[in-house]
A and B are shown apart, each in its own frame.
Chain A
Amino acid sequence: MLAFLRDRKVRGYIFQFLSIVIVVAFLWYIGVNTAHNIQQRGIRTGFGFLSGTAGFAINDTPISYNEGDTYARVFLIGILNTLIVSFVSIVLATILGLIIGVLRLSKNWLVKKLAAAYVDIFRNIPILLQILFWYNVVLRSLPDPRGSIDFFGKIFINNRGFYIPRAAYNSTTFSVIISFFLVIVFLVFLNKWAKKRQELTGQEFPVLLTGIALFIVVPIIAFFIGGANFDFSYPHLNGFNFTGGKVFYPEFLALAFAITVYTATFIAEAVRSGIEAVDKGQKEAAASIGLTGYQSLKLVVLPQAVRIAIPPTINQYLNIVKNSSLATAIGYPGLVTIFAGTTLNQVGQAIEIISMTMAVFLTISLTISLVLNWLNHKMKIKER
């Protein structure tokens, strides 16, 4: 009579039906409880709080902000700060990771061992500990503003931050920035054209050298076209603190530095395993058909190494964004600090605030994984 229960399909349906029932029942249970608890404790609901006045100060804001602004603006500043510190850390960690990864494969014994020691030391210390160490020990021990370490009287380092001259928003700055973008766009097209020509005729075009030359020459030309005047504002001591110029706060420095140092170890390992994974026969084959060392690196080794190294590297970018939330331990005003921290304490609407915070991180993560999937698809070996 119960023979139909032995049918795999039927059992599959029953099993799935049961799991839906369990999940729905669980959600129902916590939903009812939450509604009851919220009513009991008199917690407000809804997103109306976003238009309320924040009333607290934030020291590091990329866009203008004052205490009279709304929680919505605090949310926006949190997102921007999180993105800024993540972006800076991603760029720096990639550069440092590449260098360390290549040095680990150096023929120089001492350099190889030093690079390995760097990786072994820093990847085995918790990132939060590193952030707290740089913030509480190293940056705190810097001199106060009056005793700042200064470079040429223009750049200052003290326990309040790192001060550099800031260029004004004028035609010179603008044209130099634009020129950088133009060079990048031009190089993308140049690279495509050079590749095509090489495939058709076998002639190589020195894209790398051209690129370096353009990056030096074009901004200089743009500098003169734009009026040759950056109109720098220099930091200077005013009473007990510095004014003018651009300041990087200690919270930002400690966070970006610790994330860079920590993540670079993982990127270095990805780079190393990518290069090591290229079969020796590939290099020998490249040499035997007469490619030079540079050609073999550019045309044979790197394309294969990059394919292996990129997925783990992008996963590390994801980790950087997530680790930037540790800003809350030292008070850098990222999303978790000022929104899931200060705002939550003031408003008390935990469900809305934590959900919004999680939604932001989920969006960033999903975007990065979409980029990764697209890259993986694009770089897949095209088999005939």
Chain B
Amino acid sequence: MAVYNKIESRKAPSNSIGFFHWIRENLFSSPLNSALTILGIAILVLIIPPFIKWAIVDANFKGTTRAACTGDGACWVFVKMKLDMFLYGFYPEAEKWRVNLTYGLFFVVIASFRYLKGSMLKLSIAALYFIVAFFLIHGGFFGLTNIPTNKWGGLMLTIVISAVGIVCSFPIGIIFAFGRTSELPIIKSISVTYIEFIRGVPLITILFMSAVILPLFFPEGVNFNKLLRALIGITLFEAAYIAEIIRGGMQAIPKGQYEAADAIGLSYWQKMLLVILPQALKVAIPNLVGTFIALFQDTTLVLIIGLFDLLAMVQLTTSDSHWIGYETEGYVFVTIIFWVFCYAMSIYSKTLEKRFNTNLK
């Protein structure tokens, strides 16, 4: 009986494994690729070391005045001293805990959603949160001093505008999405006109309109403050975009769902709210997050109508005679904040997309 010895499998040739193989395959596989790699390395060398040198190595962190900034690098002392302005605007020092408490409560609410069941319960908690947040930040009730909106500013104002914009434009957007897909010709044409009009003009013209023309629309004595006017403009603007996204989601729902809802005798509103909308929202979530990122970025436009959001704070703080000439530090700091918020949201949207993709397959 023949005895067969097991032969050890040979090792892969040394040029097809390991570090050098990876480098050759991925960086230098052809002359063109080698050239591109060298170009890429050159770009990195040109950008990253000088930036690190400026932002960290040569930068000044210690001290409290302009005189402390002696090096060639960034003067982070400026950002440190003006940090309260960047984060809270002119919100009084003693009342800042109210803003912080609102931030904290937000995370408590989000955490509680993990353990709570039932969408009605969640919705009412969210609604309650917004009422509490309004009382906390605005004040004027329950012994809290009123902080007028012209004292709001910085990151806090940016967040307030985005949050109100998202929350208020959502229901309006849903109504217009229903309107646009409606079979009733007049309802449909009203919705189409509104959506296409808003989507055809830049946000800045809507903001100008709400800042300049809106007061003319109402009888004397009805006064809107600047922030409220900006919020109305942003909400009306955003609603049209949300309507289009939700309509896109609704079109992705198979016709059978509509027919099944009709067949079991649901009314129009039952059909839309119980069958179509929940599915449409699920499909639309990645795009909705995309719109929220756009809205968050668009809030910077309020600086043009004279509100002091996070971006406007750069111009305001560098016009302080003690700190003239530190625009670069201000813009870099604000850029990092905006970038972190937007990037986090886009990562979140990508994970949602993945989760829902597997669901559909």
Query: B-contacting residues of A (Cβ < 8 Å)?
Result: 12, 15-16, 19-20, 23, 30, 33-34, 36-38, 40, 106-111, 114, 120-121, 123-129, 132-133, 136-137, 140, 322-323, 325-326, 328-329, 336, 340, 344, 350-351, 354, 357-358, 361-362, 365-366
Cβ–Cβ contact A326 & B293, under 8 A: no
Cβ–Cβ contact A137 & B331, under 8 A: yes
Q: Could you pull out 7 A-B pairs where Cβ atoms are within 8 angstroms?
A: A12-B183, A106-B36, A126-B298, A129-B300, A132-B311, A133-B331, A340-B205
Q: How far, in Å, is B140 (CB) from chain A's closest CB?
A: 28
Q: Which residues of B contact A34 (CB under 8 A)?
A: 216-217
Number of chain B residues close to chain A: CB under 8 A: 55
Further 14 A-B residue pairs, CB within 8 A, beyond A108-B40, A136-B327, A354-B209? A15-B187, A19-B186, A33-B218, A37-B220, A107-B29, A110-B41, A111-B37, A123-B342, A124-B339, A325-B202, A326-B301, A336-B208, A340-B205, A361-B200
A114 to B197, CA, bound (A): 39
Q: Which of B204-242 contact A (CB under 8 A)?
A: 204-205, 208-209, 212-213, 215-220
Cβ–Cβ contact B208 & A340, under 8 A: yes
Cβ–Cβ contact A111 & B36, under 8 A: yes
Interface of B is mostly: helix
Cβ–Cβ contact B184 & A15, under 8 A: yes
A308 to B203, CA, bound (A): 28
A325 to B318, CA, bound (A): 25
Which 5 pairs between the two chains have the least Cβ-Cβ distance?
A365-B200, A124-B342, A126-B297, A109-B26, A322-B202
Contact of B220 among A12, A40, A137, A326 (CB under 8 A): A40
Cβ–Cβ contact A323 & B202, under 8 A: yes
Q: Which residues of B contact A126 (CB under 8 A)?
A: 296-298, 300, 311, 338
Cβ–Cβ contact B37 & A129, under 8 A: no
A111 to B315, CA, bound (A): 36
A177 to B200, CA, bound (A): 34
Cβ–Cβ contact A350 & B331, under 8 A: no
A19 to B189, CA, bound (A): 11
Cβ–Cβ contact A19 & B27, under 8 A: no
A38 to B219, CA, bound (A): 11
Q: Which of B1-57 contact A (CB under 8 A)?
A: 26-27, 29, 33, 36-37, 40-41, 43-44
B155 at the interface (CB under 8 A from A): no
Given A128-B300, A136-B327, A136-B331, is A30 in contact with B205 using a C-beta cutoff of 8 Å? no
Q: Which residues of B contact A358 (CB under 8 A)?
A: 201, 205, 209
B199 at the interface (CB under 8 A from A): yes
Cβ–Cβ contact B219 & A361, under 8 A: no
Cβ–Cβ contact A108 & B201, under 8 A: no
Q: Which residues of A contact B33 (CB under 8 A)?
A: 106-108, 111
Given A121-B339, A325-B204, is A109 in contact with B27 using a C-beta cutoff of 8 Å? yes
A262 to B36, CA, bound (A): 23
Cβ–Cβ contact A108 & B217, under 8 A: no
Q: Which residues of A contact B29 (CB under 8 A)?
A: 107-108
Cβ–Cβ contact A108 & B27, under 8 A: yes
Cβ–Cβ contact A325 & B343, under 8 A: no
A357 to B206, CA, bound (A): 11
Q: Which residues of B contact A40 (CB under 8 A)?
A: 220
Q: Which residues of B contact A38 (CB under 8 A)?
A: 216
Closest chain B residue, CB of each to CB of A8: B268
A322 to B294, CA, bound (A): 14
Cβ–Cβ contact B304 & A328, under 8 A: yes
Given A125-B338, A129-B311, is A326 in contact with B213 using a C-beta cutoff of 8 Å? no
Given A110-B40, A128-B311, A362-B201, is A12 in contact with B184 using a C-beta cutoff of 8 Å? yes
Q: Which residues of B contact A111 (CB under 8 A)?
A: 33, 36-37, 40
